[in-house]
Amino acid sequence: MVQVERNLFAASRERWTLPTVALLLAALVAGCSHMNYQDRARTPLKPMKSVVHVKSSAFDTPPRVLEGERPEYPALEADRREKGFVSVICTINVEGKAEDFAIETMTNPAFAYAAMVAIAKWRWAPAMKNGHPVAQKVRVPMHFNAI
């Protein structure tokens, strides 16, 4: 009787081992085929002519991004392949630096933090009014896609 139970247990274990191993290998291969999120974060953004602006007649030329890098994909969210969206409102000051951040909408606080850190590092051309730089609010929407 004891021998029969051991054989049933061993057979049961073998039955589940092969599918489990196959599933783990498939997940490993799929995971290796995706781009490293940290490498993707280091790729520079193409300069944007403008972002979505808070409507105002306070400028002739809107602020625009001159250079910057994509936000770092939060590690936990990258591991989960979680997608997200953030809409950040900030002020671009006369020196072309982002300040006074506010989150308009977000799907995850980790994405919001990553977006604000990235935007703060970007180099901006400030808004211009009558040939002089002026501070201006902008809305920066960001999609985080785990691809």
User: Which of residues 94 and 49 earns the better pLDDT score?
Assistant: 94
- Supply the pLDDT for residue 129: 94
Instruction: Identify the CA nearest to 87 among candidates 104, 107, 63.
Output: 104
**Whole-number average pLDDT of the chain:** 75
Q: Residue 113 in contact with residue 119, Cβ under 8 Å?
A: no
Q: What is the pTM of this model?
A: 0.65
Q: Residue 118 in contact with residue 49, Cβ under 8 Å?
A: no
**DSSP-assigned letter for residue 117:** H
User: Which of residues 130 and 46 earns the better pLDDT score?
Assistant: 130
86-144, pLDDT tens digit by residue?
999 999 999 999 999 999 999 999 999 999 999 999 999 999 999 999 999 999 999 99
**DSSP-assigned letter for residue 44:** B
- Burial (CB < 10 A; 0-12, 13-18, 19+), residue 114, is buried
Confidence of residue 55 (pLDDT cuts 50, 70, 90): low
In degrees, to the nearest 5, what angle opens at C-alpha 70 toward C-alphas 67 and 72? 140
Residue 63 has pLDDT above 60, yes or no: yes
